[in-house]
Amino acid sequence: MFILHLALGGCLHAPPVAFGITADTGGHIAYVMDAALAQVRHNGMTHVSIVTRLFEDARLSPRHACVSEVLAENVTIDRIATEDRRYLEKEALAADLNAFTEAFCSHIARLPRRPDVIHAHFADAAAVAITARQRFGIPFVYTPHALGIDKRVQGCAGDGMDARIQAERTALAAADGIIVSTHDEAERQVRAYGVAVDGRIHCLPPGVPQRPAPNGATTLAERLGEWLDAPEKPIILAIARPVAKKNLVALIRAFAATPALRDRANLVILAGQHDRSCTPEEQGVLTEMRALGADPVLRGRMVLPRAHDADDVSALYALAARGGVFVNPALHEPFGLTLIEAAAMGVPVVATGNGGPREIVETIGHGLLVDPRDDAAIAQACLAIIADPALHRRFSDAAIGQVGAYDWSRYAAGSLAVYDEIGTVRPALLACDIDNTLTGCASGAQAFAEWRTASAFPFVVATGRSFNAARAVLRQWQLPDPDAYIVDVGTRMMIADHTGRWTACPAYHAALDHDWDRAGVVKALAPLGIEPQPVETEGPHKLSFFGTAADALRIRTTLAAAGLGARVIFSHGRLIDVIAPMGGKAAAVGAYAARHGLSLAQCIAAGDSGNDADMLEACGRAIVVANASDELATLTPRSGLHRARARHAAGVMEGLERLGLTAPVTVAA
């Protein structure tokens, strides 16, 4: 199995990772890499690719400009570039999403083997995966990590939340499978979106974040005496980004307002990397934290380091295990990787009762839950653990004994089962070319007509012919009417209304206008002098010529040089079609399938020539008849591709029989 994880935001590179170096470099980075490393260790795995954005920023590591990076054997981090090479925060990614989507699909098309599944992290990656599924038939799994509706409920909503929630709703509705970390996400948060997810949603808790071995350098834990009057005291440790929803200021207020707590412990807060370009919100939170820390009662009792690394985190967890406590006071926390990380080090916790921490603490039993808006409750919970060695020991023992509930190997096995489940898709629609696929053999055409009449299996034709010409050929060969006609090389979709009257689908027609400058294309190609096909073969989203493969290449080169979007399709050894960039048989089949709640993974394509190539590549199953042209010789080899021994419609029937959709057929000589 070949898995592709897709995560657009943050600084994703091989460890060690400077978490907090940007606003989006958080827990999901560790989640994605640890998941990939666990998955690749299972039998049957061939490769795991983690795909993210390529960018160049003098303030960040130059490795983000490397196209590929090895994370482990058979695990790579692969970066995709767009024209915008800047590092983009999550909010700015939306403007570049269309460009990234096109670059990602080009990346998929170049791969020697297509991924079996795409695992999209956050809604922006899911939007890219939706397009990839439409074009290539690759199913996708969605992990939201943090959902906007719950942030709004908890009062953490910011600008752009309406758009975010709509993107999440679209992702939840479209995903073939959904993996979340807690039952609260599965049973409450996701269902708030009003999307039917039964049978598609799976609760798979992640494992303990893996950290690299210490590099031997002096850590913050060893240098606390530079800031603290009594560094030997137990520490209250918090690790979070300096944003309002993480509620770190409440922890400082609670500590400052509780003399008994100040007397017994020191406060250490790792709030990201301060020596970087912070967002206005982050800068505001840091300013407030520093102002609170300047209170004389906290002098020599609180540390707010400007920077830290992975070794510092590990050493501080170890120090907190010696009589201290870890605190997550977030207003809302989707999961809480730091809480299981603390558990693995034997550190008791005080955690918000809102979101994933409740489930974690109830599962492990290593701490106390609090209302994050109650400063006094936070302080009293910390004091209860620090002041009672027996309670501290009980929580510490529970942490070490029960953290095994969060295991990456178990996650890997569960996620691979989900991938297998969604990859085993029952075909639900046949998209079939006409000329030399359904036609060319009278007995084969008759067998196909009888099958269609007997089974009523959903069926569309996808042809380069016009609508009228396609209907005439079907009548000539006594072939049945399909449920829809995809004509003019996928630039027109004809749908029958309840009276049986055929009309063009206006939504599909409108979609093809995107990035299509027909007049500009005509002007650019006129000097080439390539022979046009009869004017009746043209359409609003299609120009057609007679020519050679070399002529098709000239057209592609000319349009690329002019910066004009178009697809150039060469077929039957002499036909060239120049169509809108969003058009083609695959796009039209995908659009028709979506109208009926299906994906391309549930479609079967059958064809014989170059203008069938995109749908043969994109659909979950493909049948190439024996009389196919050499234009299809380079189709990607895969389990879903069947090269029939029979010609014409008999070859289609052979492929359908192989899929268990018809009785056995006799292969024509």
pLDDT for 220 equals 92
pLDDT for 154 equals 60
If you search the block for the tokens 């299996």, which residue do you land on? 457
Residue 189 gets which letter from DSSP?
Answer: I
Whether residue 267 contacts residue 278, with contact meaning beta carbons closer than 8 Å, is answered with: no
Q: Binning pLDDT at 50, 70 and 90, where does residue 17 land? A: confident
Residue 18 has pLDDT above 50, yes or no: yes
> Which fold would CATH assign to domain 429-512+583-658?
Rossmann fold (3.40.50)
Least confident of 156-160, 444-448, 511-515: 156-160
Instruction: Kindly state the average pLDDT of the residues 323-332.
Output: 95
**φ, ψ of residue 57 in degrees (nearest 5):** -150, 120
pLDDT for 133 equals 82
pLDDT for 45 equals 83
pLDDT for 666 equals 43
Judge if 220-408 and 429-512+583-658 fold alike in CATH terms: yes
pLDDT for 158 equals 61
pLDDT for 513 equals 93
pLDDT for 25 equals 82
Instruction: Give pTM, 2 decimals.
Output: 0.66
Which two tokens mark 581? 């960039």
* Beta pairing partners, 4: 49, 118
Residue percentage of the chain with pLDDT more than 90: 70
Least confident of 63-67, 80-84, 333-337, 665-669: 665-669
**φ, ψ of residue 179 in degrees (nearest 5):** -115, 120
* Beta pairing partners, 75: 48, 72
Whether residue 390 contacts residue 370, with contact meaning beta carbons closer than 8 Å, is answered with: no
Residue 669 has pLDDT above 60, yes or no: no
pLDDT for 204 equals 95
Instruction: Kindly state the average pLDDT of the residues 238-253.
Output: 94
Least confident of 15-24, 168-177, 516-525: 15-24
pLDDT for 667 equals 39
Query: Helices 310-320 and 337-344, interaxial angle, to 10°?
Result: 60
Q: Can you tell me the distance from the alpha carbon of 567 to that of 564, in angstroms, rounded to the nearest whole number?
A: 10
Residue 152 has pLDDT above 80, yes or no: no
**φ, ψ of residue 141 in degrees (nearest 5):** -110, 145
Residue 33 gets which letter from DSSP?
Answer: H
> Which fold would CATH assign to domain 220-408?
Rossmann fold (3.40.50)
H-only helix segments in 467-562: 467-476, 506-511, 518-525, 549-561
Q: Can you tell me the distance from the alpha carbon of 611 to that of 281, in angstroms, rounded to the nearest whole number?
A: 52
What amino acid occupies position 192? A
Residue 622 has pLDDT above 90, yes or no: yes
List pLDDT tens digits, range 262-305.
999 999 999 988 877 777 888 999 999 999 999 999 999 999 99
> Which fold would CATH assign to domain 2-143?
Rossmann fold (3.40.50)
Instruction: Domain ranges for the chain, please list them.
Output: 2-143, 220-408, 429-512+583-658
pLDDT for 663 equals 53
H-only helix segments in 403-505: 408-423, 442-455, 467-476
Highest mean pLDDT among 128-137, 257-266, 613-622: 257-266
Cis amide linkage into residue 234, ω under 30° from 0: no
How many residues in the chain?
669
Q: 240 or 424, which is more confident?
A: 240
pLDDT for 160 equals 73
3-state secondary structure (DSSP) of residue 537: helix
Q: Tell me the average pLDDT of the chain.
A: 91
Q: 628 or 16, which is more confident?
A: 628
HEC-encoded secondary structure of 357-368: HHHHHHHHCCEE
pLDDT for 213 equals 66
Residue 427 has pLDDT above 90, yes or no: no
Residue 1 has pLDDT above 70, yes or no: yes
Least confident of 98-107, 233-242, 658-667: 658-667
What amino acid occupies position 142? Y
Q: Can you tell me the distance from the alpha carbon of 453 to that of 414, in angstroms, rounded to the nearest whole number?
A: 42
Whether residue 350 contacts residue 258, with contact meaning beta carbons closer than 8 Å, is answered with: no
pLDDT for 424 equals 65
Q: Can you tell me the distance from the alpha carbon of 431 to that of 438, in angstroms, rounded to the nearest whole number?
A: 11
Residue 456 has pLDDT above 70, yes or no: yes
* Beta pairing partners, 487: 492
Number of neighbours of residue 631 by Cβ within 10 angstroms: 19
List pLDDT tens digits, range 491-514.
999 999 888 899 999 999 999 998
Least confident of 198-202, 264-268, 429-433, 443-447: 198-202
pLDDT for 147 equals 86
Q: Binning pLDDT at 50, 70 and 90, where does residue 155 land? A: low
pLDDT for 281 equals 86
Q: Binning pLDDT at 50, 70 and 90, where does residue 69 land? A: very high
Residue 79 has pLDDT above 70, yes or no: yes
* Beta pairing partners, 485: 461, 494
